[in-house]
């Protein structure tokens, strides 16, 4: 994938999925977290979400430096994207089976009882 339309298409898909993820997670948190704790929970979520970005950038740079020592620069600049994709698939494989509709419904029901 070296043409700009394919890169544009993949970035558009990434932005769409990221937006969808944010809407779903914020809506779910707002439905199950008590109002008096919602600000704290959101701040912790944001801390880990945004706080990992500089660490990810540093790891991406480190991957490029390491791969650049034995492969071409073009390959080295693509490897962090492949590693990120592999990590995302791994997280999905681990978390996907655990994130069931029944568990979300149970969490919403428990939150409704507590309110």
Question: pLDDT-derived band of residue 112, with 50, 70 and 90 as boundaries?
Answer: confident
Q: What is the pLDDT of residues 7-56, one digit of tens each?
A: 899 899 999 999 999 999 999 999 999 999 999 999 999 999 899 999 99
Q: For residue 2, what pLDDT is reported?
A: 66
Report d(CA 89, CA 79) in Å as an integer: 15
Q: What is the pLDDT of residues 47-80, one digit of tens each?
A: 998 999 999 999 999 999 999 999 999 999 999 9
Q: Cα 53 to the chain's mean position, in Å?
A: 10
Q: Tokens 């043409």 appear where? A: 3
pTM over 0.85: no
Structure tokens at 48: 């880990």
Angle (CA) 88-89-95 rounded to 5° is: 85
Alpha-carbon dihedral angle through residues 68, 87, 3, 69, given to the nearest 10 degrees: 0
Q: What percent of the chain has pLDDT over 70?
A: 98
């Amino acid at each position: 994938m070296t043409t700009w339309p394919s890169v544009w298409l993949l970035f558009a898909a990434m932005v769409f999925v990221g937006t969808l993820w944010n809407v779903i997670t914020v809506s779910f948190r707002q439905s199950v977290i008590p109002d008096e704790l919602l600000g704290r929970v959101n701040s912790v979520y944001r801390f880990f979400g945004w706080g990992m970005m500089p660490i990810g950038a540093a790891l991406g740079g480190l991957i490029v430096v390491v791969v650049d020592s034995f492969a071409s620069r073009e390959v080295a600049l693509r490897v962090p994207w492949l590693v990120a994709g592999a990590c995302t698939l791994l997280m999905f494989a681990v978390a996907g089976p655990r994130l069931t509709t029944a568990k979300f419904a149970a969490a919403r029901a428990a939150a409704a009882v507590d309110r």
